[in-house]
C-alpha cells in the first residue's frame, strides 16, 4: 500500500483540516508528519467547530488510528488542553491516538526563546506563532533536543540540562521571564502524554502498509512556509513539502501515492514576509470579512490577496502534486471580477518561474476573469456550477497542469463537492 499525502500549497490555512476529515473514511490511519501547535486545523460538522493543533484531523471519523509522527514537535501543555477539549465534547481518544517516541518535545523554555528571538529581531521579526517551533527544531538539528521517548529514561536529568542551557541563552538576550507557571502546566501535560501509547511510529506505519492498510499523511503550514522552498527567512522551521512526509514518518519515497495539493481560490498569509499579490484596499478587506480570515490559533488578521499562480506552479512542482483541491471558492461568490497572477515582472523582465526570493521588486501580472456572482454554498454537484466558475477552474487546471478533484464551497464537512470529470 501507498501513503497519500495532503499538504498546503500556499502560506498555510488552506483548509487542510476540513479536507483530511472529509477524506478520512477512505483511510485506516491518519498521520501528522511535521509542524506542531503553530498549526490550527479547523473542522466543522453537525453545527460544531473544532480547531486541532497537534492531533491529526482524522480523529473525528470513528475507529480510525491517528498518529503524531516523528517529524512533529509536541508541546505537552497545549496537547493536554487539546485532549481535554476533545474529551469534553465527547470524543474519546484512547487507543485511537498514538504518539511517536521520536517526536521532539517543545519545552517551556523553547517558547520563551521564541519570544526572545522575535523581540531581538525588532522590525525584522518573523511574526511567529510564539509556540517555540523554531527553537525546538533548532535543538533537534543541533542534537540537543528532548524526544517523547526520553520520558521513559532519565528524563529529569535531561530536562534540567536542556533548561540550564536555555536559561543561559535567555540571560544573554536580557529576556525576563517567569518559568514557574509555565513549568507547572508543562509537567501536568507530561502526565497527560504518558497516558497515551508512545510508539515506534516508523515501524508501526510500515507494518500497516505491508498489511495493506491505507495511510493519509497530513501536512501542516504550506509550501511557501517550507524551510527550504518557502519565502525564507519568513518561513516555519520544518519541511512542509511532500518530502517531509518521508522524513516525518519514516516512509520511503517509493511509498508515496497520491499527493493532494490544497489551495484557496485566493490567497492569505499570517505574520511577516513578502506576499506579491497582497491587497491593501477594500477588496482585501472584503476577502478578510467574507472568508473570516483571522488566525485560528492566534486570532491575528490574515493578509489577503489574489491567487498567485507563479507560486502555486512552483508548489505543484516541488511536491509532485497529483490532485488539486480548491477551497473557499464561496468567498469569491460575490466578486464581479476575479484576478489571477500569471507571471511576475522583476526589474522589468517578465517571468513565470518562481524566483530565488520575492522582494519589493516583484510586480504581479494579472489576468482577469468575470466573477460567477452566484451563491455556491448550497451546491451539491458540479452540474450546478455556473459557467464562469467552470471557466475559472479550467484556466487554473491548465495553468497548473494538474486536475482539480475537489471544490469546497463552505466550512462544513457537507459543503464539499467531489468532481468526477
Ligand atoms: P488549515 O490550517 O489548512 O486546516 O486551515 P484553517 O482551519 O486554519 O483555516 C481555514 C478556515 O476556512 C477555517 O476557518 C475553515 O472552517 C474555513 N473553511 C474551510 N473550507 C472553507 C470553504 O470552502 N469556505 C469557507 N467559507 N470557509 C472554509
Ligand atoms: P496551518 O497548519 C499559517 C507562520 C507564522 C509565521 C511563520 C513562522 O494552520 O496552516 P512559526 O511559529 O512556525 O515559527 O511561525 O509561519 N505559520 C503559519 N501560518 N498557518 C499555519 O499553520 C502556520 N504555522 C506557522 O504566522 O509567519
Ligand atoms: Mg490553520
* Number of Cα atoms under 13 Å in the Cβ half of residue 74: 35
Residue with cell 516508523: 202
- 249 pLDDT more than 90: yes
For 141, the enclosing helix (H) or strand (E) is: helix 133-141
pLDDT (average), residues 318-343 = 97
- Phi, psi of 43, deg, nearest 5: -130, 140
**Ligand 1 mean position, distance from CA 38 (Å):** 16
**Ligand 2 mean position, distance from CA 382 (Å):** 33
Helices 179-194 and 76-88, packing angle to 10 deg: 60
- 92 pLDDT more than 90: no
State the first-to-last Cα distance of the chain, in angstroms, to the nearest integer. 25
Q: Encode 305-361 in three state secondary structure.
A: ECEEHHHHHHHHHHHCCCEEEEECHHHHCCCCEEEEEEEEEECCEEECCCCCCCCCC
pLDDT digits (tens, 9 = 90+) for 174-193: 999 999 999 999 999 999 99
| Closest ligand 1 atom to Cα of 42 | 7
**Ligand 1 mean position, distance from CA 291 (Å):** 8
pLDDT digits (tens, 9 = 90+) for 330-342: 999 999 999 999 9
- Whole-number pLDDT of residue 374: 97
pTM score: 0.97
Query: How many of the other CB atoms lie within 10 Å of CB of 340?
Result: 22
What ranges in 222-308 are assigned the alpha helix state H?
243-249, 282-290
The total number of residues written for the chain in this structure: 421
Q: How confident is the model at residue 343 (pLDDT cuts 50, 70, 90)?
A: very high
For 231, the enclosing helix (H) or strand (E) is: none
**Most ligand 2 atoms within 8 A of CB, residue of 73, 115, 128, 135 to mutate:** 128
Amino acid at each position: 500500500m501507498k501513503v497519500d499525502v495532503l499538504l498546503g500549497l500556499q502560506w498555510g490555512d488552506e483548509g487542510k483540516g476540513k479536507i483530511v476529515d472529509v477524506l478520512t473514511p477512505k483511510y485506516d490511519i491518519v498521520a501528522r508528519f511535521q509542524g506542531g501547535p503553530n498549526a490550527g486545523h479547523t473542522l466543522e460538522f453537525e453545527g460544531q467547530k473544532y480547531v486541532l493543533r497537534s492531533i491529526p484531523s482524522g480523529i473525528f471519523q470513528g475507529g480510525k488510528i491517528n498518529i503524531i509522527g516523528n517529524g512533529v514537535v509536541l508541546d505537552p501543555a497545549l496537547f493536554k488542553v487539546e485532549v481535554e477539549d476533545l474529551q469534553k465534547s465527547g470524543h474519546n481518544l484512547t487507543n485511537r491516538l498514538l504518539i511517536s517516541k521520536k517526536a521532539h518535545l517543545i519545552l517551556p523554555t523553547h517558547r520563551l526563546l521564541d519570544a526572545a528571538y522575535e523581540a531581538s529581531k525588532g522590525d525584522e521579526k518573523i511574526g511567529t506563532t510564539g509556540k517555540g517551533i523554531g527553537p525546538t527544531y533548532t535543538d533537534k538539528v543541533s542534537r540537543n533536543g528532548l524526544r517523547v521517548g526520553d520520558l521513559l529514561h532519565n528524563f529529569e536529568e535531561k530536562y534540567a540540562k536542556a533548561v540550564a542551557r536555555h536559561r543561559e541563552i535567555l540571560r544573554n538576550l536580557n529576556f525576563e521571564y517567569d518559568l514557574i507557571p509555565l513549568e507547572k502546566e508543562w509537567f501536568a501535560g507530561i502526565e497527560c502524554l504518558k497516558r497515551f501509547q508512545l510508539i515506534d511510529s516508523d515501524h508501526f506505519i510500515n507494518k500497516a502498509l505491508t498489511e495493506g492498510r491505507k495511510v493519509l499523511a497530513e501536512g501542516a503550514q504550506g509550501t511557501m512556509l517550507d524551510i527550504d522552498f518557502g519565502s525564507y527567512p519568513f518561513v516555519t522551521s520544518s519541511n512542509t513539502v511532500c518530502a517531509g512526509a518521508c522524513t516525518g514518518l519514516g516512509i520511503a519515497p517509493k511509498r508515496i501515492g497520491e499527493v493532494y495539493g490544497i489551495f484557496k481560490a485566493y490567497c492569505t498569509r499570517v505574520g511577516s514576509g513578502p506576499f506579491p499579490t497582497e491587497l491593501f484596499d477594500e477588496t482585501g478587506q472584503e476577502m478578510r470579512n467574507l472568508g473570516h480570515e483571522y488566525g485560528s490559533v492566534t486570532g491575528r488578521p490574515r493578509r489577503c490577496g489574489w491567487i498567485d499562480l507563479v507560486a502555486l506552479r512552483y508548489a505543484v512542482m516541488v511536491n509532485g502534486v497529483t490532485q488539486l483541491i480548491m477551497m473557499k471558492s464561496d468567498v469569491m461568490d460575490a466578486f464581479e471580477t476575479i484576478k489571477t497572477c500569471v507571471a511576475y515582472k522583476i526589474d522589468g523582465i517578465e517571468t513565470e518561474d518562481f524566483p530565488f526570493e520575492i522582494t519589493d521588486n516583484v510586480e504581479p501580472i494579472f489576468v482577469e476573469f468575470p466573477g460567477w456572482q452566484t451563491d455556491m454554498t448550497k451546491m451539491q454537484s458540479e452540474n450546478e456550477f455556473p459557467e464562469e466558475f467552470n471557466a475559472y477552474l479550467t484556466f487554473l487546471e491548465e495553468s497548473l497542469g494538474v486536475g482539480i478533484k475537489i471544490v469546497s464551497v463552505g466550512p462544513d464537512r457537507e459543503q464539499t463537492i467531489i468532481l468526477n470529470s
